């Protein structure tokens, strides 16, 4: 097992190339889930709720119960993100997980050269990802996991689809309350937009009245790779007295289409009822791209079912603020 983590560490320290804007399905790089959002996106070594399956498919095997999570994100420019995640324990060693991401960009009236004030027609756009996978507990400390996902992007009459896979490894030491996680996300096929609006009738020689004026031409679109993410995370929980706990978590992320990202989060939990969370996320580029996060969680019970209500606020320096509200439960 030591050789595995030496290999992981070697890969994680390799320099990444800064290729901004060279991938499709960029929504796969958005932080999903209210808990992860409030911790700055540092979630690859945690199993706080079902949303951890998005960051590391191996993480759900250490969950002691079945979990379900629903999150709603107020994203930029009035767009909305719905994120569903769940996992079900088959036995003490195997757990299946799944999640759905739906990013709705809303609608806007179509304008063109002849209808600059509006055409009474509207265009819409939507991103979708559906994933399912399996996590296996190899020993009391080590777990592995993998998932397969379907990815779709649509804008008006054009769309693109792809298939991808995630893999992950998890080390969890219950006595020391120390976790380490590693995952590779979105290893899959390129995406290319196709649709009826790419076809147009053209006249090759408008000055000649005797030629064919109805030749069908197609606008050529390029195929783009998916954004690949390598995540290496560690987390440690320290008990403060009998009723309080302090969590610190860090992730180092290497994306294929941007500079490296460092995520840091802390959580203070009191009586296993109230959690206060803070996070910081910074991209190591030339634009000083960083933001701070804050969130809280409240745990209650409804008919003996534990219910968690979580909220996260992200203060983005370069763009507007975003917020996430989520609800999760165990059964």
pLDDT, average across residues 209-235: 87
The number of distinct structural domains making up the chain is 1
pLDDT in tens, 191-215: 999 998 888 888 777 777 666 767 8
Query: What's the residue count for the chain?
Result: 331
What's the pLDDT score for residue 15? 43
CATH of the domain at 135: 2.40.160.60
What's the pLDDT score for residue 327? 96
Strand extents, DSSP E, 141-273: 142-155, 158-173, 178-188, 194-195, 199-202, 215-218, 229-240, 244-255, 261-270
Q: Which domain holds residue 101?
A: 17-190+225-330
Say if residue 81's pLDDT is above 60. Answer: yes
Residue listed under structure tokens 């969370």: 277
Say if residue 302's pLDDT is above 90. Answer: no
pLDDT in tens, 244-272: 999 999 999 999 988 899 999 999 999 99
The answer as to whether 52 is a domain residue is yes
Say if residue 305's pLDDT is above 50. Answer: yes
The answer as to whether 41 is a domain residue is yes
The answer as to whether 218 is a domain residue is no
pLDDT in tens, 94-117: 999 999 999 999 988 888 777 778
CA atoms of 58 and 185, how far apart (whole Å): 12
The answer as to whether 34 is a domain residue is yes
CA atoms of 153 and 127, how far apart (whole Å): 5
The answer as to whether 2 is a domain residue is no
Q: Is 260 exposed, middle or buried (0-12, 13-18, 19+ CB in 10 A)?
A: middle
Say if residue 9's pLDDT is above 50. Answer: no
What's the pLDDT score for residue 14? 46
């Amino acid at each position: 097992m030591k050789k595995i983590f030496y290999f992981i560490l070697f890969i994680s320290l390799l320099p990444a190339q800064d290729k901004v804007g060279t991938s499709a399905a960029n929504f796969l790089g958005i932080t999903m889930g209210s808990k992860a959002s409030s911790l700055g996106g540092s979630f690859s070594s945690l199993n706080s709720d079902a949303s951890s399956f998005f960051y590391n498919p191996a993480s759900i095997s250490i969950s002691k119960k079945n979990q379900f999570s629903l999150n709603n994100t107020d994203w930029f420019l009035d767009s909305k993100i719905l994120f569903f995640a769940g996992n079900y324990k088959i036995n003490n060693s195997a757990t299946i997980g799944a999640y759905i991401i739906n990013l709705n960009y809303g609608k806007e009236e179509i304008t063109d050269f002849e209808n600059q004030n509006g055409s009474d027609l509207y265009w819409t756009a939507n991103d979708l990802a559906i994933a399912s996978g399996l996590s296996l507990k190899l020993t009391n400390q080590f777990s592995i996991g993998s998932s397969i996902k379907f990815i779709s992007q649509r804008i008006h009459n054009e769309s693109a689809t792809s298939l991808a896979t995630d893999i992950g490894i998890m080390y969890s030491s219950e006595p020391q309350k120390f976790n380490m996680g590693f995952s590779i996300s979105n290893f899959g096929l390129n995406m290319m937009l196709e649709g009826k609006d790419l076809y147009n009738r053209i006249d090759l020689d408008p000055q000649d009245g005797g030629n064919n004026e109805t030749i069908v031409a197609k606008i050529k679109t390029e195929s783009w790779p998916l954004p690949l993410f390598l995540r290496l995370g560690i987390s440690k929980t320290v008990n403060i007295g009998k009723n309080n706990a302090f969590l610190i978590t860090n992730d180092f992320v290497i994306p294929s289409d941007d500079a490296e990202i460092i995520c840091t989060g802390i959580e203070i939990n009191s009586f296993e009822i109230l959690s206060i969370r803070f996070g910081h996320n910074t991209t190591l580029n030339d634009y000083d791209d960083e933001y701070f996060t804050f969130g809280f969680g409240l745990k209650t019970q409804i008919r003996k079912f534990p219910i968690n209500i979580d909220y996260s606020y992200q203060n983005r320096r370069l763009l507007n603020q975003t917020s996430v509200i989520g609800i999760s439960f165990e059964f």
